[in-house]
Each structure stands twice: as structure tokens, then as C-alpha cells.
Amino acid sequence: MTEELMDLRTSILEGRYMDALAIVDELEVISKQAVLRNIESFLIRMLIHLIKNQV
């Protein structure tokens, strides 16, 4: 992620705003994927807990 931030900074400083916007879009997708991974992890832990309680 740091590489993307460095590229974003460089793009802005060089006036390549379309490239900067593309990088921002990529970062948004990465952020959404991280949220989904966290939700998935939580659901797995919850299911394991529920299964253990049923046994």
C-alpha cells in the first residue's frame, strides 16, 4: 500500500490527475476487500463458536 501512496503523491506532484484518480480508485477497492475479509473472518469465528456450543 505504501507504494501506491508514493505513486499517488508523485502523480499529483507531476500533475497527472487522471493517474492519481485511478490510484485512488484502486485504494478504495483494496479497502473494501479488507473490510470483506474482516467480516468473513468474524463470521467464521462466530460459526465455530456456535458449532462448539451445539456439541
User: Residues 25-30: what's their mean pLDDT?
Assistant: 89
Residues 28-54 have pLDDT tens digits of 888 899 999 999 999 999 999 999 988
Q: How far apart are CA 36 and CA 34, in angstroms?
A: 5
pLDDT of amino acid 1:
64
**pLDDT grade for 16, boundaries at 50, 70 and 90:** very high
Domain chopping of the chain, boundaries: 2-54
pTM across the whole model: 0.64
Q: Is the pLDDT of residue 55 over 80?
A: no
Q: How far apart are CA 25 and CA 52, in angstroms?
A: 41
